[in-house]
Amino acid sequence: MGTVRTIGVLTGGGDCPGLNPVIRAVVRRAMANGVVVIGIKNGWQGLVKGETVALDLQSVSGILPKGGTILGTSRTNPFKRPEDAQAVLDHYRALKLDALIAIGGEDTLGVAVKLIAQGLKIVGIPKTIDNDLSRTDFTFGFDTAVNVAMEAIDRLHSTAESHHRIMVAEVMGRHAGWIATYAGIAGGADVILVPEEPVDLDAVCEVIRKRHHRGKEFSIIVVAEGAKFRDGTMIAKEDKTDAFGHVRLGGIGQALADLIEQRTGFETRVTVLGHIQRGGSPTAFDRVLGTRFGAKAVDLVLAGQTGMMVSLQGQQIVAKPLDETAVMMKTIDPELYDLAKSFFG
């Protein structure tokens, strides 16, 4: 690759704590190397429409502790319409980008994989609170979401105990149980239900009853939004799908709470944590991981290593190919879930 003069950066998909630290690191590392950075607004939509913003040290000053993304985001799939995909290619060229840094999850990086095949020079940065991307040990945003959920579980304990109730906490995570399992272990949940294993209602009620017998007249059940009942029923908010074909999950918490109350006779309440898990200031871990990812992505561009994504492997930030395998879903580590199960009840 010749001299790198100009790079673009975009954030796509659901927002997530740590995006601003990544953008800041990209801009600072790029500018330190004499590279101009153009911010693409609202994910791939910005390249479809040609909506950009110049980024400099001033624009990223003070954004490190802020949640969300200063660039805006959207779930735009430019490959839904051939003219949109063409517009992306045209704007990339018109902006004279030497490379693009795409920060996103499965969908945003999936689009990047297709664009790389069409000749664009892209480096990917994995992002999602769900931690469900196969080619990195952790994504930034996950730690913040887990901490929010853990705090909620801590708070549910005192009200559950005072009222002798069962509390069901529904957490995000899409089709993977990472948030549920980490937050559930950290918060000492009595049962944790994940999409990777069908919900066994009899077993859940049995745990609750046993706790009552030993004098624990309250229980905390954490359920991942993508968890399914034994018959395979997964609960979605609506039938409508987004541009990438995903349904909006949510509702299993209420369904489960109703069934638990019916079967055990114990008063049961549900708390749906929802987007609170995605909002607000990133934890120190997510700020550091985001900063390391952002700086490494620029280093890869400068080294001519596009078509790659940054990844956390153990303690190291490394480069991995940005291909179809990179965007495959990573489900919960069975060993970790077995550990969680050994503490149920």
Q: What are phi and psi of 184, to 5 degrees?
A: -65, -45
Closer CB to ligand F6P, 144 or 311, in the complex? 144
Closer CB to ligand F6P, 235 or 300, in the complex? 235
Active site residue 130: yes
CB of 11 to ligand F6P, least distance (A): 13
Closer CB to ligand F6P, 17 or 307, in the complex? 17
* Whether 109 contacts 18, CB under 8 Å: no
> What are the structure tokens assigned to 8, written together?
């673009």
Closer CB to ligand F6P, 172 or 327, in the complex? 172
CB of 98 to ligand F6P, least distance (A): 30
> What are the structure tokens assigned to 313, written together?
């492997």
Q: Closest CB to ligand F6P belongs to which residue?
A: 172
Closer CB to ligand F6P, 64 or 276, in the complex? 276
The one catalytic residue in 15, 107, 130, 132 is 130
CB of 302 to ligand F6P, least distance (A): 30
> What are the structure tokens assigned to 266, written together?
């114990």
Cβ neighbours of residue 7 closer than 8 Å, sequence gap 6 or more: 26, 30, 35, 36, 37, 38, 97, 98, 99, 100, 101, 298, 301
CA torsion sign for 232, 238, 239, 241 is negative
Cβ neighbours of residue 170 closer than 8 Å, sequence gap 6 or more: 223, 224, 225, 250, 252, 253, 254, 270, 271, 272, 273
CB of 107 to ligand F6P, least distance (A): 9
Q: What are phi and psi of 35, to 5 degrees?
A: -100, 135
* Whether 142 contacts 131, CB under 8 Å: yes
CB of 10 to ligand F6P, least distance (A): 17
* Whether 234 contacts 226, CB under 8 Å: yes
Q: How far apart are CA 229 and CA 231, in angstroms?
A: 5
CB of 345 to ligand F6P, least distance (A): 27
Binding residues (CB under 6 A) for ligand F6P: these are: 14, 105, 128-130, 172-174, 225, 248-249, 278
Closer CB to ligand F6P, 108 or 219, in the complex? 108
Query: What is the DSSP secondary-structure string of 195-227?
Result: TTS-B-HHHHHHHHHHHHHTT---EEEEEETT-
Q: Annotated active-site positions, please? A: 130
